[in-house]
Structure formats: C-alpha cells, structure tokens
Structure 1
C-alpha cells in the first residue's frame, strides 16, 4: 500500500484520525448532496451481533449450530465450528438470513486483508451463525433493486475503501457504528440500478446452484455401500486404534489410524489407486520461494492457501520469480489441494478445489499440491477428494510435526472409487454444472462491480 497525503476542506469532529479519510471517499462524501442515500436509511439492522463477546462451548453437530469465522464467510464451501446455540445470549442476532450483507469487521488495512470486504448471503450461508467480528446488514427490503445496488457498491474497491474509513482502533481495527451508518450510497438512474440488481440476484442464484450440483455429485459417491461404511468410521475426529496388515511405507501411526479404519476398508474394496488416474508427472508441489512485492500492472497475482478456497479472493502482486511456470501458475484441468499446515478441525489441510475456477495466469503458493488427473477422471477425482472421506484420506498422508506436509507416495497410494458408467457420467455432469454456475456467479458479480466503478461513480463524481 502506497503512503499518501492529501488535504480535506474540513475535519469532522466525529473522525479525528487520518484513517477515517481517503481521497476517493471524501469525494463521495462531498458529492453526496447531489443524489445519494445514507446506508442507515436502507437497513433494518446494522450489526446487531457485532462486537458481542461470548464463550464458545463446543459440541457435536447434532446438538449444536455452525459458527463461521471471517474467512468461513467468504469460503466457497463454508465450514464453521460447531458450538452450543446457548453459548450466545441472543443467538437470533447471529443467525444468517438470505440476502444479508456480511462484512469482515476486524483486521488491518493490508491490501490483501479481508477486513472491510463484503459478500451477500446465499443459501450456502443461510442458517449458519456469525461471531462478533462480522458486521451484518439486514436491508428493510432485501429483494429491492436499491438494496442489491447498495451491496454492489459496498463490494466494489471504492466501497471497501469507504467501509474502511469508518475504522477505529490501533492494532486490530473495527468499525464505528455511527460512521458506518452515515456512509453515502451513490445513486444512478433506475435502469442502471435495475441492471446491477439483476446481476447481483443472478449471482446469488448461481452460487446456490453451484452448492446444490456439487452436493449431487458427491451424493453419488457417498451412496456407495463402502463409502457409507468409511464415512461412519472417519466422520468423527477421535483417538483411534488400528490393526494394519499391509505394507508400511512409513512408521507414523497417523497414516494408518487417523481415518478410523476407512483407509484399510477402501483399499480392500477398490483395486484402483490415485496413481492409476493421474497423468504422467501429475502430482507435484510448486517451486515458488521468493516473493518480491510490486504493483499492478507489473508482476503477477499470487494466491495464498487461504485465497485458494475463497469465493472473493484477494491476491498479492509479486514480481515473476523466474521459476518453471508449470510449478507456478494454476493448472487449468487440475485439482488444488491444501497440503501444508495444521491438522486441526476446520483447517485447510487436505481441502480440494478445481483449477478451472481460476484465471490460468494466477500464481499459487508452493504449499498447494497440484493433482492432474486424466481428463475423463477429473470431475470424479474432485468430487471424491472434496468429500469428507476424501478429506480424511488426504489428511492421512501428512508427515512432520509442527507444520505437516503431504507425502506424495502416500497420496498416489490412496484408494480411488470404482463407479459404473452411469454413476461416472452422473458425477461428471453434476460437477460440470456446478463449475458453470460458479463461474457465472463470479462473472455476474464482477460485472455488477464494474458497472459501479466504471459507469456509476465517474458520472456521479463528474
């Protein structure tokens, strides 16, 4: 982030810190008299649970609710922590409703930080709960074009800067309710507002289609008798004792016992291994080690492990490190697996994502495992690896102590599902529909934000 200095015509008594001002935000405030509306006039509730402190009491999924962290809110597949609902004094204030706007409400002003960034709640998030670091906006008329238009503004780069200008604090910043509610939402003609609203609405619908189709693909696998048995063995994380009569490529007990017997069961039921469905040299880590920051348009975009699994990614900009591009950029027809980190519940280790969801010239961290299946097995491999059983099997390949990493020979040796032609075709079609819906959702949201940045704001500020 470049340091800057500028002058403002007057300093507001409610905001005496430089971080409460930015040149573009001040232009918006100055132009607000022309045609705008205060954010507080559009919302019914502004962060009812924001800043609420409570003690989390963990429990099993059948007895609790799912609490999302800031990163979980932006995840392609949100998976939060299971806690007792009565951990919260007023849990209804934390529950996510469809078309609420969720904003990361605690953090720093780093360019690739989530702090201040917004996402609109679709069916993937509904019924889950947010913690004290999430600012939730409940519009009086969530389906109204103006409400959806306001979301697109808040999600735009200019909107993020405006949101961040309402910050207070030192190390970890938070929002001031009075400054946040006073943010002006620039208005446009009715046709433009409707165009943006249609795009935002389509984005929500397509993200729900993405989740639905992906679950349909996994269901084909999960309905296999052996997969049901394996799921029962590994679903609950607990201490396990395993009897192992196979080869011992490692003496680490974690490899054989962490899946609760699911690894041994599936090895006995399926003759196919992951190695059998890979392209030549189709399993490798990246080579990126050196990172030299730069600014656009120079350099390349780099995604961290966190960003790989988010819908709204916030990449860094770095100088091209000069390493082999195959081990630097996203493989288009491959699977990306988080392969270095912690093994705690909710961590990214072992999670899988499709490379087709990314721009091909995007660099990714060396800690992401690249899996390149033969084309006809790509969708099945992704559906399997991204299932709960697939996650547990991938996690069983971890070696190391403080920061484990996957051992590639153990990954190649993992069992791979054997499907009928009908089931194989069903999985492929569902994954393709899911991918198409996700890409359309990303494109429509990006177009809504582009209209705000390139059509609405220039005309409004002229």
Structure 2
C-alpha cells in the first residue's frame, strides 16, 4: 500500500524513501517513560557471514555439512544441500546455533515473500549452515528475556516492515546491515518482557518436540527388515536398469525403474495396497477456482504448497471460493502430499505432511494431493511410511508429465502398504498425536507473543 509521511530528520545513511518506515521513526523519538534500545546494543554478531559468496562443493554425507537456503530455514523439517565445510572461507560465520535469529535476506516486498522475515533457531536448525542470502543475529545473551523479546518484535508485522525498510537494491532486495543495526527495539516493563520471552521459549521447545515425535513415528516403520532392504535399493540417486514383470500401465520407465527395485520388492513382500485403506474418492487434488485477494477480517487464510511444509506459514488472504468446502479445506489428521513439481532433491514434490489443526483451519491449494485414509490409525501408518525416504521415492515414482510432474492417483493407490502389529500401530499414532499437539502449542505461543507486542506494547509508542 502506498503511503506518504513526514520525518523530523533525514538520515545520511538512508538513500531512498523505502528506508523510512513511520513506525520506526516514531520509535526513534525520545518520550518520557518510553525506552527503546538500538539493535546493535543487543547483538554480538550482526550478520558477519551475510552476502559473502563461496563455492559449494558437494560431498558424501560422512564428509559434509548441511547447507540451508533461506527457504529451507522455514521448512518444518529442514533438509539442505550436503557440501564440504571447507567450501566456506569462514564456516563458523555460517553455522547456526540455538537461540540465534535468522533473517531471510534476499527477495522482494510481496506480502507473502520470505524476505525480511525472522525465525529463531531451535534444535531443528542447530549445527547446520546457511548461505549468503540468510542473515544471522547472535545476541550478547542469546537466552536472555530481552533478546527473546527483540526476536518477537522482529517477527511481528511491525518488525517485518522495519527490517524491509533497511533494503537496498532494485529487483532483488537485500538488507543494509548498518541501517538494521540502528533499528530501535521498544523496551517495555520487565513483566511484559518476561511474558513474551516465556512464550518464545515455549515455541522453541514445542517445535523441537514436534520434529522429535515425527522422527520417532517414522523410526517404527524404518526399523522393519523389508524397509531396510528397500532403503538400500533406492536411497542413492543414480541411473538405474531393472527387470519389471508387473503390469505396464504407463509408457514411462520412470514409474518402474526410479526406485531401483524397491517398489517391486515391497509389492512382493507386503500383501496390502494403499487402496485398501484409502477410498478412491478420498485421494484427489482440489479443483481450480478463482482466488480473490482481500483483507482481514474478511475471507480465509489460503496456504500454498510451501506454506503447508513450513514451520511458520505465510498464507494469502482470499474470499471463500464458491466451490464445495472439501475442495478448499482438508480434514484434521489427514495427509497432504506435494502433488505437482519437479524432482530436485529438496523439492516439495512427493513430500507428505500431516494436517494439524492450524492447517485444517485454512484453505489449501489444489496442487496438493489429499490423502484421507478410513480412520486415524491408518492415517498414522500411512504418514509414517510415506514420509520416509523410501515412501517419498515411491510417491515420486508415480509422477507423470514432462517438466512439471503430477502424482497419478491410480498409481498412488497401487503403492504397497505396510503390515504392522497392533503395538507398532499404537506407537505411531501416539507419536503423531504428540507431534500435532506440539506444533499447535508452538504456533499458539509465538502468535500470542506477537499479539502482545502488536496490541499491548507498540500502541504506547506509536500513538
């Protein structure tokens, strides 16, 4: 939205109108009883590795570190590129540590862009590395309440506008660290700071529980002897040649050979198929419909493929489409699979997400494949299997098309389905219920922290 306003004093460092943000200018003003601290006074390292270009030399997992792009940072289960650590001149500047604040540092000003958005590092990200497009803030006291309050401020809508006001560049914007360092951070009463810090700590802890429980659910299926054998067949990505004795329902060799024999093995070992637990009417993509943008409180939040697999989605706001509700919304504790895309190793295509209550409240793009088994126990088993590396390889083997592949529904229904004991099924369901609860708790905690800043803290400074 365009706006015009007057500033009291032009700053030599700010070279363009974009570098002035009304809320930031008001925070700079000294008022009785109102304190603001500059970001530079809180941080020990303000992006020393940001915008430093380095080569990326791929390496085997045992000799590599994991490099995350700025979009990888926001994934619920981050998976980056494996490169040699000595590819980076100063690798310690790119290593992520718990409680650091990561900022997406390259992009555009579109409302749903990641550019300028902040995320606090938890156990999911610790020990991994980020590239030159990500800016790392390391506070003097990373776990101190004021440091966590500063993160919540940067993650708020006002903080996002403040970070984006530090931009330079033309089409692809980047962050000027000198202007970022000079950003004022409001400092309210200690009681408010502690409330916000407590919520941020809870969000970090619950996100770690969320991922830990997902991994525990998968491990039950990955421990099966047949799964171990299938993993050895398809884990490595390379050209393959297989002998296929089953029906040829497509003319594409990819559908039979891409798993390197894992598909044929599991079809022989497991008598059940996915169609035995999913009715054909319950495996579909949403229909096409018009998306008309609007502003809250009108309309619904609408999630893209990226949003569904993100730890903190950035949904669009659209008018409710005039189509059947089942084509827009998905039921809680069902599955969503990346239904259209390409075969890059970090691509969403073929990945599977379980629908937690926060996702079920939003509309979902038609590009995602809905998978809705008969009951919750079968949902849990389906997710635990399809979200493994073997499961993802099998799902991708159902892809048809040229450059942009789509999952073919009849091939998905024909995939093998594991046979588990009652105890194994119960363990998986317990882990996934805990994961769902943890994700919701983390989202609610961070949302409440941001609400306190937007509705209780900032009005006192901005009025």
Give the TM-score normalised by structure 2: 0.97
Give yes or no for contact 2:273–2:415 (8 Å, CA) kept in 1: yes
1:10 aligns with 9
2:27 aligns with 28
2:462 aligns with 461
Give yes or no for contact 2:26–2:461 (8 Å, CA) kept in 1: no
Compute the displacement of 1:357 (Å): 4.5
1:215-256 per-residue CA deviation (whole Å, 9 max, x = no partner) reads 111111100000001111111111111111111111211011
Give yes or no for contact 2:28–2:36 (8 Å, CA) kept in 1: no
Compute the displacement of 1:305 (Å): 1.0
Distance of 1:25 and 1:234 partners within structure 2: 53
Give yes or no for contact 1:331–1:370 (8 Å, CA) kept in 2: no
Matched, 1:431 2:404: no
Compute the displacement of 1:32 (Å): 7.4
1:419-456 per-residue CA deviation (whole Å, 9 max, x = no partner) reads 01111111110111111111111111111111111111
Matched, 1:136 2:99: no
Mean CA deviation greater in 406-415 or 298-307: 298-307
Distance of 1:233 and 1:32 partners within structure 2: 67
Distance of 2:338 and 2:289 partners within structure 1: 17
Call closer, same or farther: CA 1:218–1:359 in 2, change over 3 Å.
closer
Q: Which runs of 5+ in 1 are unaligned?
A: none
Distance of 2:358 and 2:396 partners within structure 1: 24
**RMSD of equivalent CA atoms:** 1.4
Distance of 2:9 and 2:387 partners within structure 1: 54
Distance of 1:53 and 1:82 partners within structure 2: 17
1:311 aligns with 311
Compute the displacement of 1:461 (Å): 3.3
1:309-388 equivalences under 5 Å are 309-375=309-375, 376-388=377-389
Matched, 1:243 2:239: no
Give yes or no for contact 1:305–1:348 (8 Å, CA) kept in 2: yes
Mean CA deviation greater in 358-367 or 235-244: 358-367
1:158 aligns with 158
Give the TM-score normalised by structure 1: 0.97
Compute the displacement of 1:168 (Å): 0.8
1:69-98 per-residue CA deviation (whole Å, 9 max, x = no partner) reads 111101000011111111111111111001
1:389 aligns with 390
Distance of 1:239 and 1:360 partners within structure 2: 39
1:449 aligns with 450
Aligned residues: 461
Q: Which runs of 5+ in 2 are unaligned?
A: none
Distance of 2:335 and 2:381 partners within structure 1: 11
Distance of 2:357 and 2:237 partners within structure 1: 30
Distance of 1:448 and 1:205 partners within structure 2: 15
1:377-399 per-residue CA deviation (whole Å, 9 max, x = no partner) reads 11111111111111111000000
Give yes or no for contact 2:339–2:406 (8 Å, CA) kept in 1: yes
Compute the displacement of 1:214 (Å): 1.1
Mean CA deviation greater in 363-372 or 300-309: 300-309
Distance of 1:325 and 1:61 partners within structure 2: 44
1:414 aligns with 415
1:260-279 equivalences under 5 Å are 260-279=260-279
Distance of 1:396 and 1:357 partners within structure 2: 30
- Over 4 Å off, 4+ runs: none
Call closer, same or farther: CA 1:152–1:385 in 2, change over 3 Å.
same
Distance of 1:46 and 1:443 partners within structure 2: 29
Compute the displacement of 1:16 (Å): 2.5
Distance of 1:200 and 1:257 partners within structure 2: 47
Give yes or no for contact 2:97–2:121 (8 Å, CA) kept in 1: yes
